[in-house]
Amino acid sequence: MTMERRFEKELEGLKTSLIKMGSVVEENITLAVKALLEDDDALAKQVIAADERVNSLEIEIDNGVIDILALQQPVASDLRLIIAVQKISNDLERIGDHAVNIAESVLSLHETPKQEPLYEIPPMCNIAREMLRNALDGFILLDPQLARTVLQQDDKIDELNRTMTQVVIEEVKSGKQSLETGMQLIRISRNLERVGDLATNIAEDVIFHTQARVVKHHAENGRPLGAQPN
């Protein structure tokens, strides 16, 4: 196999691991919220256990990045792509941690929350998943436009988090919801909002990377980009 061919193959392998990691993480977020909605502690525990898989995928990708850098000595534009893979994998690992946080909140709830269907949590979960999927698709398809949609969705999820926090505080004050339950619900809402932030990080990396490809011919001194990623 030629060096070039081998490089392409290893890079494909990295991307495949990243896509796999993305789907595991998305699934974990979904299941954590499902555990909340269905008051299912066993499912919450399953989400916590599944985070091991996310962590081992991150290590696999880290090692893959080191290998490809060491053996292939790629040029600047490929380097940026490989560093982007590593950064995205780091963000995915953090999203996985938020799924764990949500699952832990589910286990901490000693009573079933009194409002159905749990305020803004289901729409926030849907938006967070869509943001994550668009950010990753933007990376795979090298599509900055798709990545840009993520930035707009982030405002929406921030707004839902604010609204929900206010409503829960009012309900705790009026005695409709207990303090402990209210705090866990606010914590879950904030975790989903943070998933949105991390999907936004990924989208910014995608925009940064795809723009770098466009502008790199104007580069000097091996530094193809301006200072800010967006």
71 binds its own copies (CB under 8 A): yes
Size of site (CB under 8 A) for its own copies: 34
Is residue 216 a contact partner of residue 77, using CB atoms and an 8 Å limit?
A: yes
The three-state DSSP-derived secondary structure of 127-167 is: HHHHHHHHHHHHHHCCCHHHHHHHHHHHHHHHHHHHHHHHH
Tell me the one-letter amino acid at 92: L
152 binds its own copies (CB under 8 A): no
1 binds its own copies (CB under 8 A): no
CB nearer its own copies, residue 67 or residue 111 = 67
108 binds its own copies (CB under 8 A): no
**Nearest Cα residue to 128 out of 98, 103, 104, 148:** 98
DSSP letter for 219, please: -
DSSP-assigned letters across all residues of 39-82: T-HHHHHHHHHHHHHHHHHHHHHHHHHHHHHHHH---HHHHHHH
80 binds its own copies (CB under 8 A): yes
In this structure, how many other beta carbons lie within 10 angstroms of the beta carbon of residue 48?
19
179 binds its own copies (CB under 8 A): yes
CB nearer its own copies, residue 3 or residue 75 = 75
151 binds its own copies (CB under 8 A): no
42 binds its own copies (CB under 8 A): no
Only segment of 35-43, 57-65, 129-137, 153-161 that touches its own copies (CB under 8 A): 57-65
Which residues in this chain contact its own copies in the complex, by CB under 8 A?
56, 59-60, 62-63, 65-67, 69-71, 73, 75-76, 79-80, 83, 86-87, 90, 169, 172-173, 179-180, 183, 186, 221-223, 225, 227-229
